[in-house]
Structure 1
Amino acid sequence: MTALPLKTIARTLHSWQQRLAITISIFVIFFATVWCFTISQSAKLHSDELITSVLQSQPNIKLAQLPKYLTANNSIVAVTNGQKQQQINIRPNVWLNWTGTTKAYQLKDNSQFQVKYLILSGKHIILLVTITCLFWLVALLLAWAVGKNIEHKLYHTERKARRLFQSNRNQNNLKHPDLFEVLNVLLEELAIARTEQNRVDKFIRAQTFLDPDLGIGNRVFFENRLEALLNVEEQVEQGFVIGLRIEELEQLLERNKKAANDMLGQFTQILEQSLKRHPSALLARYSDRDFAILLTNVSVKDIELLCKHLLKALLHVRVPPPLDPESLYHMGVASFRSGDQLTQVLLEADMAIRAAQLQGGINWFMYQEQDKVKTVAMGSLQWRTLLERTLMQNGFILYFQSVMQQSPRQVHHQEVLVRLKDNDGKILKASLFMPMAQKCGLIIQIDKQVVLKLFRLFEQDTSSQARYSINLSQEALLNAEFKQWFINELTQQPKQAQRLIVEISEYAIVEYSEDLTLFLQQLDKLHVSILVDQVGQYVLSSGYIKHHPISYLKLHSSIVRNIQSKSENQLFIRSLQGTCADTSVKIFAFGLETEAEWQTLKQLDLAGAQGQYFNLPEAGLSLSNSH
């Protein structure tokens, strides 16, 4: 294959510059010709009109009297006697002047004459030629400078590409490779490297947070999530841990590991299928023989129904010998709320399992002491009534919490948090009422009302350039009508759009990537920044970072909690930073509570963080009150 160095490409560019210059020159010559023809015709017409006017006003005029009437017009140079060819000069004529001659006119005494008129004076011609030459001189200098700059960049790119191409290859194979082949190979390697980076990132997540045999969360993953729920600002009013322990599984693993894994696979499949009615539920393998289920904001009645359903569903598991199908497993339930201790919740779940074992057979147990019963008081109808009334009264309250950047340490933006008052005047957090709003089909209406509230606050604070992030629910992101409305609102208020950051969960952007592509591109064109939050909550591929116009990532609180003592979480962040290395994406942390966590995040060189360590969410009647 013939080598095609960048020097040849540079020469080709110069050739195209020359062709472009010739084309422009031809166009200029054509334009100048048309212009000259136009002004000559205009000057001729003007002279003819002048002479006709003089002859009509002075029908008996003599040839000798003509100069008297034509002197007032600056464009008339001389009058020529048609018969004697005598010229009467009206004003001096410079040799460089561009002149023309009218047709022959006849007076009443039968004498004929012609008038010489000025089309363009010599000084104007010199000025135009000088300006044209200067223009072309500047244009040629600029073209030369641009060409040299492009040539320099091309040479630099060629050297860099060839060094990179030859660095890990046998130079005897291709001593003079075609440049386009070099670039094509490097681009293919870049695509492979990006794919490999995503694969490695997902592998690290999987190795850190997934059980290798069943593909569900492991103990680290489960405890991270539970610990985060017990500590973060968005409090959980009521949650439950369901522990499921398979008896004598160790013996089966020693005798017949394949049969044991098949049975565990059946357990996993049935548990996942049963939990589909609870989208926020988390299933993990806590140990070789223990499964753990985490649920939030559900009632005791729902837990009772779920446990009874699991007892029936798990009857379909094929139990290999020597395990006893009549006492194969036991379930224990522990309740919790934000502020409880992790060890206490896990201990209570273990005690509940042991209590179920004492009852004999396959059974489940949950402590019912008065101080352990934590119920969500309202039913679905009461929730719907409260939410609909709040919507009608435009009663959702906006709270604000600062997201601080590391260097310099100042507010990067404010996150908008949604609250409402219940019938007793108590302020409820979004983590409590949003799942109920989802069940009632009201979550899109709430998102729309919150957006409008924020925009009205923007209108009251037009002088500020502070930025605010707002969460959009998965339902709103997938609703075509809402997306069209949202884009229209932003289009009508471009200044407000520039102050807005839209937060989308990592699960939504991965699960519905194709559905969100156009919407995210539209937001990017309107200068709305995209923030992906809850990063690390699930084990997902990070390929969306290169596929969508992402500006920021926000780590899930389960990654941040006690990160100073969790090397696996630090490894996850390092891997994520590697994925973002050749992008402008900034990584923030959520749920920061201690100085030790903050110091570790600074060592990891994160862009910033959000949490109780800096401040608690604050209500604000105006944006100025939220800072």
Structure 2
Amino acid sequence: MQQANRKIRSSRVITLRTLLLFFTGALVLLLLVVSMVISARSFHGYVIEELEGQTRDAATAIGLSLSNAIDATDTVAVSSLIDSIFDSSQYLVVEFVDHDNNVVAGRSQPLADLGVPRWFIRAADLPRPEGTAAVMRGWQWLGQVRVVGHPGNAYRDLWRVSQWLILSSVLIGAIAIASLYFLLGRLLRPLRAVERQAEAIGHRDFRKRTHIRSTRELNQVTRAMNQMTDDLEQLFAGQAALIAHLRRLNNEDALTGLASRNAFDQRLAVEAVTEEGRRPGSLVLVQVSRFADVNQHAGRLEADALLTRLAECVHQFVDYHAGSFAGRRSGAEFAVFIPGGAPADALIWGRELVEDLQAICVEFAGERSDAQLDLLVHGGVAGTGDGVSVKTLFESADTALARAQTEGVHHCELADSGADVHHGAEDWRRLLTDALDREALWLWEQPVIATDDETVLYRQVFSRLLVEREWVRGNAFTPMAERFGLIGRLDVLVFQRALQRLREEPSVVAGLSLGISTVMLPDIPERILLMLRAAGTDARRLWIGIPEQALHYHRQEAQAFIRQLRRTGASVLVDRFGVGGIPFSYLKNLSIQALRIDSSFVHGIDRHEENRFFLESMITIAHGRGVKVYAAGVETESEWRTLKAAGIDGATGYHLGRPGPAGDPPVIGAPG
């Protein structure tokens, strides 16, 4: 709204080009009008002089003729002479009067239609000149000739000249103003480019440069603007690089690039334990036994090289299992959490991971032909459940890991942690497909609260699917939908229901979050765009979240999709910000309106100084780009106070408002 108001105010302000064109054009028109008036008045005087001269000459000629050539006493001869002259239609009156002022002979006519507008006759107001001449015979005075000129020809000549002057002035004025318009446009083109560059800087976009050259003064302005833009971009890049570096120091293992122990534990607490973020899943602990032998026999550098290769394998495992994340515990011990993964499935995947890591260890030992490097990889798997704390989860996985180590070979075991039994992978595939086929989806929503603790910025929409007669939360089935390629169908169905709600509730502003792989699925982004275009102005009341992981794994597709989303009028935010662990320099290349901090950063932020510093620095950079910052997962008053002190724009969380149904549950038919 503020941006729209700024555009309205700027549209009401006259531009420099218009101002210069107005004043210069007015000056040109004034000169043309003055020139036209002077020319018209000059011709007006010339016409009057010609008319008066013509009248005098006619009177003199007639007088001479009657005095010398024609007998003035011969009335017939005088009348013939007067008729011949009067028939030229150049005179109103031609007459011969005697010494008693009696008309001897003469002709006259009224001032009839002159072929010019009456208003022009009144404006020009030409005189009717009168000429006289004496008629003599010797020294005898016989009378005089009186001639009154006819101004008709003079009016017509003056009208034609006036028309030509007006037409030529209009033509010259139009050519002059058009030439001035294009000339000013060319001269001020760098200024317009600088204006667009200034607007881009105002929107924290430092990509625009001005390369158009014009006058010396404008060239200096463009150079100064380009230099300022370069400096601001370098400042932003430096800040972003510094904050990203500090974040890596605090949250990533410097050698492997995996999450640090504290960062992994904090995210695990949010994903598996907290009331709001809890989702079913499995923890996999993997340890390389006898790793100390590598340091002893091969040296620290070789040990680090082995750890790097093992970490690359763990990275590949996480990339393959959507939503998973991994960290390095200590030495050669790694932890992986697989959301949505049932313990039985996680055991299969854990054993595959152990096999891959064991192959790397065997290859490493073979490269050095060192029989003493007998490395074994073991794993332990434990599932989450109600009442299972992070400590209990790790203890269960450690117990399974210890049992695997007693086998004497590389192996992976499943803990008996007492956790709830989750659906297996194939069960999830069948259940999700059936729910989507029946469109058994129910929308819930949670308010995003501004820092005044009252204003609802928008309502974050969540989905629940009817699975075995129970409405299951989205964080339970979303990882499995990603894994089985069903996330696109789920997102399309959520969009349909959400847009229907916006049509029914004109006052609601809603927020949706897409899946990580949605942006690169065939036809899914285009279907979403078609729905948004068909929604018209309703799309402007929609916040669409693109996960940060999508920007990392599918950057080109995500960037193209975001540009298309912005054209529909929808607002775009980067969702689960901070989870991807990628530098946020992408802010300068994306047209986004907000970031939403992942709950793993928010959880306990009042006690984690490193996360608080990262958040404050990131908010400063985002606000410097005109990007709002929201947070997810606020569960305590102290977390909310810390976020507000850091400059957050709004947040969701159980402390601020619990999710609730957006209407009654839909009526679902029986399973097919």
Find the residue that maps to 2:517 and give its secondary structure: helix
- 1:422 is displaced (CA, Å) by 1.5
Change (3 A) 1:222 1:26: same
- Mapped to 2, the partners of 1:236 and 1:264 lie a distance apart of 31
Return the match for 1:376 from 406, 422, 427. 422
- 1:610 is displaced (CA, Å) by 0.6
- 1:223 is displaced (CA, Å) by 0.7
Maintained 8 Å contact 1:234/1:430: no
Find the residue that maps to 1:217 and give its secondary structure: coil
User: In structure 1, what residue type is equivalent to 2:286?
Assistant: L
- Mapped to 2, the partners of 1:213 and 1:508 lie a distance apart of 25
2:348 alignment partner in structure 1: 305
Change (3 A) 1:233 1:521: farther
Return the match for 1:314 from 354, 357, 366. 357
Alignment of 1:143-154 (within 5 A): none
- Mapped to 2, the partners of 1:291 and 1:385 lie a distance apart of 32
1:333 alignment partner in structure 2: 381
1:403 alignment partner in structure 2: 448
1:278 alignment partner in structure 2: 321
Maintained 8 Å contact 2:276/2:654: no
2:488 counterpart of 1:455: no
1:476 alignment partner in structure 2: 518
- Mapped to 2, the partners of 1:513 and 1:237 lie a distance apart of 27
2:242 alignment partner in structure 1: 200
- Mapped to 2, the partners of 1:267 and 1:21 lie a distance apart of 75
2:379 counterpart of 1:353: no
- Mapped to 1, the partners of 2:16 and 2:358 lie a distance apart of 80
The one of the two structures with greater contact order (alpha-carbon pairs below 8 A, sep at least 6) is: 1
- Mapped to 2, the partners of 1:283 and 1:455 lie a distance apart of 36
2:461 alignment partner in structure 1: 416
Change (3 A) 1:271 1:615: same
- Mapped to 1, the partners of 2:16 and 2:581 lie a distance apart of 53
- Mapped to 1, the partners of 2:572 and 2:394 lie a distance apart of 37
Change (3 A) 1:96 1:191: farther
Maintained 8 Å contact 1:81/1:114: no
Alignment of 1:210-609 (within 5 A): 210-232=252-274, 236=278, 238-250=280-292, 252-253=294-295, 256-316=299-359, 317=361, 318-319=364-365, 325-326=373-374, 328-337=376-385, 339-368=387-416, 371-372=418-419, 374-377=420-423, 379-380=425-426, 382-407=427-452, 409-423=454-468, 425-462=469-506, 464=507, 466-479=508-521, 481-609=523-651
Change (3 A) 1:603 1:191: closer
- Percent of paired sites with the same residue: 21
Return the match for 1:88 from 94, 110, 114. 110
Find the residue that maps to 2:92 and give its secondary structure: coil
TM-score by length of 2: 0.66
- Mapped to 2, the partners of 1:479 and 1:357 lie a distance apart of 42
- Mapped to 2, the partners of 1:506 and 1:217 lie a distance apart of 16
Rg (Cα) greater in structure: 2
- Mapped to 1, the partners of 2:602 and 2:26 lie a distance apart of 63
User: In structure 1, what residue type is equivalent to 2:465?
Assistant: L
Range with greater deviation from structure 2 (297-306 or 496-505): 297-306
Residues paired across the two proteins, number: 505
Gap regions ≥5 residues in structure 1: 1-12, 35-79, 101-111, 123-135, 137-142, 158-176
Change (3 A) 1:358 1:388: closer
- 1:506 is displaced (CA, Å) by 1.0
- 1:510 is displaced (CA, Å) by 3.7
Find the residue that maps to 1:88 and give its secondary structure: coil
TM-score by length of 1: 0.70
Find the residue that maps to 1:454 and give its secondary structure: helix
Change (3 A) 1:218 1:458: same
Change (3 A) 1:456 1:28: farther
User: In structure 2, what residue type is equivalent to 1:613?
Assistant: H
Write out per-residue CA displacement over residues 446-502 of structure 1, whole angstroms, 9 at most, x where no aligned residue.
Answer: 22222121222222223x2x3100122233322463333333333333320111111
1:97 alignment partner in structure 2: 123
Write out per-residue CA displacement over residues 519-560 of structure 1, whole angstroms, 9 at most, x where no aligned residue.
Answer: 323332333111111111121110122211111111111101
Find the residue that maps to 2:323 and give its secondary structure: coil
- 1:20 is displaced (CA, Å) by 7.2
Change (3 A) 1:496 1:325: same
Maintained 8 Å contact 1:230/1:339: no
Range with greater deviation from structure 2 (344-353 or 13-22): 13-22
- 1:619 is displaced (CA, Å) by 0.9
Find the residue that maps to 1:263 and give its secondary structure: helix
Write out per-residue CA displacement over residues 153-198 of structure 1, whole angstroms, 9 at most, x where no aligned residue.
Answer: 99xx9xxxxxxxxxxxxxxxxxxx9665544433322222222222
Change (3 A) 1:365 1:193: same
- 1:119 is displaced (CA, Å) by 8.4
Maintained 8 Å contact 2:351/2:411: no
User: In structure 2, what residue type is equivalent to 1:375?
Assistant: V
- Mapped to 1, the partners of 2:110 and 2:339 lie a distance apart of 110
Maintained 8 Å contact 2:343/2:382: no
- Mapped to 1, the partners of 2:288 and 2:521 lie a distance apart of 43
Maintained 8 Å contact 1:235/1:338: no
- 1:248 is displaced (CA, Å) by 4.5
Range with greater deviation from structure 2 (87-96 or 205-214): 87-96
Find the residue that maps to 2:440 and give its secondary structure: coil
- Mapped to 2, the partners of 1:474 and 1:591 lie a distance apart of 20
Write out per-residue CA displacement over residues 354-409 of structure 1, whole angstroms, 9 at most, x where no aligned residue.
Answer: 3333444433332236x24x3323552x5454444433433211111111111253
- Mapped to 2, the partners of 1:452 and 1:245 lie a distance apart of 46
Write out per-residue CA displacement over residues 201-247 of structure 1, whole angstroms, 9 at most, x where no aligned residue.
Answer: 22122111111111221112211210111244565553222222333
Find the residue that maps to 2:110 and give its secondary structure: strand
- Mapped to 2, the partners of 1:344 and 1:183 lie a distance apart of 59
- Mapped to 1, the partners of 2:442 and 2:259 lie a distance apart of 36
- Mapped to 1, the partners of 2:265 and 2:480 lie a distance apart of 26
Maintained 8 Å contact 1:542/1:579: no
Maintained 8 Å contact 2:496/2:531: no
Maintained 8 Å contact 1:237/1:338: no
Change (3 A) 1:323 1:181: farther
- Mapped to 2, the partners of 1:287 and 1:478 lie a distance apart of 36
Maintained 8 Å contact 1:236/1:338: no
